[in-house]
């Protein structure tokens, strides 16, 4: 009887046979960036939640310059909910989209006080009920403030590297996240985002990726690299 040859099966755009390569990629990234961590400076879950909302369409460096002054006036959900809207907008103006961000921050703070007794909720379902909070923000808070690997943070760096490294063919962040969750062990999900972001900033940037110097090049198909 002749052997039937089948094509590799795909699930949500990911080759099922790629798990071994993904594991090797993770191990190499871990060695390359042993100090990788959340770049948003924070002292607790609430500060991280606010900083993450501010980081939309803004650099982490800019957010870190803004938050010390912001948290002096609104360092708790109660204080932030009471903060005058115009004062809040002025404090966060340089992060861009400040009116929408101020509305989200005040809304989330009020909901935390009214619905969760003043404590930032610790589940994905509860976090998603807060104004201005989607999966990315919830994953940041759960992974970095509560050490819960519920999902993978997918920002522009993570999405770009996931596609270039052949870990996904998707462009929608939620679908990219699903593919990464399929390939990588749950215990790595929070750190995976930090590692990919570090590599995206230092080597595999959007416009001029340094493929020759990249220590992942033997594992990388360089998809989407001109």
Q: Any bridge partners for residue 10, and if so which?
A: 15
H helix and E strand count, the chain: 11, 2
pLDDT tens track for 142-170: 999 999 999 999 999 999 999 999 999 99
Do the Cβ atoms of 146 and 45 come closer than 8 Å?
yes
Which residue among 136, 179, 217, 222 is the active-site one? Answer: 136
CB atoms within 10 A of CB 15: 16
Q: Any bridge partners for residue 11, and if so which?
A: 14
Q: What are the structural domains of the chain?
A: 10-30+152-219 (1.10.1670.10), 45-145 (1.10.340.30)
Do the Cβ atoms of 76 and 82 come closer than 8 Å?
no
Active site residue 136: yes
Rounded to two decimals, the pTM is 0.90
CB atoms within 10 A of CB 167: 25
pLDDT tens track for 183-223: 999 999 999 999 999 999 999 999 999 999 999 999 999 88
- Please give the Cα distance from 157 to 106 (Å, whole number): 28
Which residue among 155, 175, 217, 222 is the active-site one? Answer: 155
- Please give the Cα distance from 113 to 210 (Å, whole number): 47
């Amino acid at each position: 009887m002749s052997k039937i040859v089948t094509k590799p099966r795909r699930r949500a755009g990911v080759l099922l046979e790629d798990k071994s390569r993904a594991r090797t990629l993770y191990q190499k990234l871990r060695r390359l960036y042993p100090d990788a961590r959340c770049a948003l400076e924070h002292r607790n879950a609430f500060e991280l939640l606010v900083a993450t909302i501010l980081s939309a369409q803004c650099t982490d460096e800019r957010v870190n310059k803004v938050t010390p002054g912001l948290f002096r006036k609104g360092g708790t959900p109660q204080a932030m909910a009471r903060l005058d809207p115009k004062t809040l907008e002025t404090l966060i103006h340089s992060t861009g989209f400040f009116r929408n961000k101020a509305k989200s921050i005040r809304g989330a703070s009020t909901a935390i006080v009214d619905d969760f007794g003043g404590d930032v909720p610790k589940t994905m379902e509860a976090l998603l009920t807060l104004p201005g909070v989607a999966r990315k923000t919830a994953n940041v808070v759960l992974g970095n403030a509560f050490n819960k690997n519920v999902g993978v943070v997918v920002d522009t760096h993570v999405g770009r590297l996931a596609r270039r490294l052949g870990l996904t063919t998707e462009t929608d962040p939620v679908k990219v996240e699903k593919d990464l969750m399929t390939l990588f062990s749950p215990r790595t999900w929070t750190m995976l985002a930090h590692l990919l972001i570090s590599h995206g900033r230092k080597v595999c940037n959007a416009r001029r990726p340094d493929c020759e110097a990249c220590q992942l090049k033997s594992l990388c198909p360089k998809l989407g690299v001109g």
